[in-house]
Amino acid sequence: MEIKNAVAGTLESGDILIQIAPGEGLQVDLQSSVAAQFGRQIKAVIAETLSGLGIDNAYVKATDKGALDCTIRARVTAAAVRATGKDVWKD
């Protein structure tokens, strides 16, 4: 699937900013205020969400401000839709 640069989310407390760019394989670069305790889980949620959308090649920069998993999924999905032009909610 072809990927363009795309962004979703904010840097507000409780949110996460997801930036997607073309890449080889799935690479997640995470900065998080809760990295020590939840970094592993956050990366897993991002990877699962993307592969569920059929994206296996992308570079993802995630700047997390303590977002819950539901928020992370929503932001990753929105960024993926913008990156691929494929509307997962409609198609």
Partner 1 sequence: MRNTKLVTLEEAIHRSGLRDGMTISFHHHFRGGDKVVNMVVAKLAEMGFKDLHLAASSLSDVHAPLIEHIKNGVITKISTSGLRGELANEISHGLMKEPVVFRSHGGRGSAIASGELHIDVAFLGASSCDELGNASGCPRSENAKSICGSLGYALPDARYADYVVVLTDDLVAYPNVPKSISACEVDSVVVVDSVGDSTKISSGAIRDSKNPRDILLAKLAAKVIINSGYFTDGFSIQTGTGGASLAAVKYIRESMLEKGIKASFALGGITAHMVKLHEEGLIEKLIDVQSFDKVAAESIAHDQLHQEVSAIEYASANYMGSAVHALDIVILSALEVDVNFNVNVLVGSDGIIRGAVGGHPDTAEDSALSIIVCPLLRGRIPCIVPKVTTLITPGKGVDVVVTEYGIAVNPGRPLVKQRLLDAGVQLTDINDLAAKARSIIGEPDPLPFGDQVVGIVMDRNGGVLDKIYNIVD
Residue of 7, 33, 27, 34 whose CA lies nearest to 18: 7
Between 1 and 34, whose beta carbon lies closer to partner 1? 34
Q: Is 41 in the site for partner 1 (CB under 8 A)?
A: yes
Q: Is 39 in the site for partner 1 (CB under 8 A)?
A: yes
Give dist(CA 16, CA 74) in Å, integer: 10
Q: With CB under 8 A as the contact rule, which of the stretches 17-25, 33-41, 46-54, 74-82 interacts with partner 1? A: 33-41
The tokens describing 48, both together, are 């699962």
Interface with partner 1 (CB under 8 A), residue from 1, 5, 14, 88: 14
Between 46 and 81, whose beta carbon lies closer to partner 1? 46
Using the structure block, give the residue that is written with the tokens 């072809």: 2
Residue 9, phi-psi category: left (phi > 0), alpha (psi -120 to 50), beta (remainder): left
Q: Which residues bind partner 1 (CB under 8 A)?
A: 13-14, 33-34, 36-41, 65-69
